[in-house]
């Protein structure tokens, strides 16, 4: 399981989830974890170089494929395929072109549990950050917001499900608005809900 972590804040990039919870998630899934440590605000060139170096090291361990959960963002799919091709690896997209309402319905019906950790402030208000992804959450999404957050409307942290040995224990903390100086079409303000690791006996 390969995940980019912000070196300054020790949190998953874009999601804002603490690396401690990431490590617990990987352990519960029984997956080896590889962390790509990146600067606070890397350029695309810097990010691509760091990722290429990491992929090269994984390839030396006979890893040849990288699996992604992308569903319909063609430009992102092509970007991933090209970058992997450059290091002699291939991308796999198991849910590509599946209807997103079907994907999230199967996710819920199969017993997986996820909490929204960041929400695009242009599309979703503060109340969506920290919510569980369930039928109530889906019903409350504004019109035009993808139920899987496939356009970057929200990001989530999966903490339990049939392939987990045990739930990842946490409690929700403060929700804050963070704005970024960006150029172009990318949105620049997100609500972040902090997930705080707790001891298992305190987990609810």
In whole angstroms, how large is the CA radius of gyration of the chain?
17
Assess if residue 59 is contained within a domain: no
Residue 199 pLDDT? 79
- Cα–Cα distance between 155 and 174 in angstroms, integer? 16
Assess if residue 161 is contained within a domain: yes
Residue 180 pLDDT? 75
Domain residues for the domain of 159 are 98-202
Residue 203 pLDDT? 47
C-alpha closest to that of 194 among 12, 36, 45: 12
Assess if residue 115 is contained within a domain: yes
Residue 169 pLDDT? 97
Under 8 Å between Cβ of 102 and 176? no
Assess if residue 119 is contained within a domain: yes
Assess if residue 6 is contained within a domain: no
Overall domain count for the chain: 1
What crossing angle do the helices spanning 74-86 and 44-59 adopt, rounded to 10°?
50
Assess if residue 78 is contained within a domain: no
Assess if residue 138 is contained within a domain: yes
Q: Per-residue confidence of the chain (204 residues) as pLDDT tens digits? A: 999 999 999 999 889 999 999 999 999 999 999 999 999 888 999 999 999 999 999 999 999 999 999 999 999 999 999 999 999 999 999 999 999 999 999 999 999 999 999 999 999 999 999 999 999 999 999 999 999 999 999 999 999 999 999 999 999 999 999 987 654 555 689 999 999 999 765 544
Assess if residue 80 is contained within a domain: no
């Amino acid at each position: 399981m390969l995940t980019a972590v912000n070196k300054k804040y020790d949190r998953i990039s874009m999601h804002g989830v603490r690396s401690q919870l990431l490590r617990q998630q990987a352990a519960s899934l029984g997956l080896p974890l590889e962390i790509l440590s990146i600067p606070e605000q890397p350029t695309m060139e810097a990010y691509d170089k760091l990722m290429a170096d990491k992929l090269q090291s994984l390839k030396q361990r006979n890893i040849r494929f990288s699996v992604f959960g992308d569903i319909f963002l063609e430009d992102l799919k092509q970007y991933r395929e090209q970058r992997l091709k450059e290091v002699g690896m291939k991308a796999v997209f198991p849910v590509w072109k599946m209807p997103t309402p079907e994907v999230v319905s199967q996710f819920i019906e199969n017993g997986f549990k996820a909490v929204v950790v960041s929400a695009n402030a242009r599309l979703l208000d503060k109340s969506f950050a920290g919510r569980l992804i369930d039928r109530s959450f889906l019903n409350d999404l504004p019109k035009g917001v993808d139920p899987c957050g496939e356009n970057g409307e929200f990001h989530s942290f999966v903490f339990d499900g049939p392939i987990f040995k045990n739930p990842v224990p946490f409690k929700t903390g403060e929700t804050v608005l963070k704005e970024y100086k960006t150029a172009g079409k990318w949105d620049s303000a997100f609500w972040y809900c902090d997930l705080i690791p707790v001891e298992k006996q305190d987990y609810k």
